[in-house]
Every structure is written in C-alpha cells, then in structure tokens.
Amino acid sequence: MKRLLLVFLIGLIVSPVLLADPPAQSGFRVFRFEDGVNIAWAIADYNKGQHAIIGLDIREFCMGVVDFDVVFAQAVFLDQGQIVVNANGEARTEVFPFPQFDCDLFMNVDPLATGTSRVRYTDNDYNISGTRTNSFGIVAQGTLQSFDTGEDMRFNAVARNLWTETGEEWKSTHVNLH
C-alpha cells in the first residue's frame, strides 16, 4: 500500500511537468519565440511554370504593404557557433501560373489557387558559421481552392538548398498542385 501511495504521489508531482508546455528558454542554448516570427517565401518551379507565394498577400506586398504571416520558431545555439532554426505553422498561400517574381504579373494575372498551407522551415546553420555544409529550406503542404472553380486542390511545395564550406551551392525546388 505504501508503494502504491508513493507511486501515486510521484505521479502527481511529475505529471504537471510532463504535461506543461516547454519553457520559452531552455538554458542558454534553446530559444522559443512564443509570439512567433514573421515569414514569407516564394518558391518558383521553372519546369512547371508555377510560383508559390507563402506567408503574405503578394498583391498587397507589391503595393508596399508588408504584412507577413507569423509562425512558431525555435533557435538552438550550438558550441561551434552555428544556430539551428526550425519554424512551422499555417500560412497564406497562392500559386501563380508563371515562375517569375514580377509584381506586374502578380497584379494582373489571377492565381491558380489560394488558401492556407502548413509550412515548415529548417536551417542547420542559420548564421552561416562556415563550420559545416548549410542545409536549409521549406516544405509547404495543404489543400488550396481553385481560383476559377472553387474546388479543392492538393498542394505541395519544397525548396531545399545546400551551401558547402567551399562555396558550392545546390538547389531543388518544386511546386505541385492537383
């Protein structure tokens, strides 16, 4: 009976800790931005002739209105000087039928689809410390609505980049909408 009571008491003491949200800061290394960070991405797929705009209303942006979406972010400071960043959340998303970043086109051509997608940005060396190959990029997924018909369309976009310590660069981007 004493063992059962002891287990129960330990459970009462530990369970609030296990169920609580993580702290805003864990020691001097991990920082969580509870109020979020502003984000915006443009992912061009030249093979498909499409452009995904994520995290802002591109027409407002082209008129000078800067209103980025806000997502949760976390930064981890490592011993060798690099900062690892993860950010994720929901963001406004539009897909246009051209790959160029051109405000004249954005203002005069309707998007293929609009809506909200779930985005995740990762970067293993945000401050480009030069101590390793820097891998960074974004993945966005969701269901958007066709601008013409209003029908649901599945959306997926990826932009991955690598910068090596010697300055070599590699990029991979794609936008899928169907």
**Could you tell me the residue ranges of all domains in the chain?**
24-177
Using left for φ > 0, alpha for ψ between -120 and 50, and beta otherwise, residue 142 falls in left
Task: Please state, as a whole number, how many other Cβ atoms lie within 10 Å of the Cβ of residue 109.
Answer: 12
Q: What is the pLDDT of residue 67?
A: 95
- pLDDT of 14 > 50? The answer is no
Query: Under a CB-based contact definition with an 8 Å cutoff, are residues 54 and 178 in contact?
Result: no
Maximal C-alpha separation, the chain? 76
| Pairwise CA distance, residues 75 & 32, whole Å | 7
Q: Please check the confidence at residue 66 and state whether its pLDDT lies above 50.
A: yes
Instruction: Tell me the pTM.
Output: 0.80
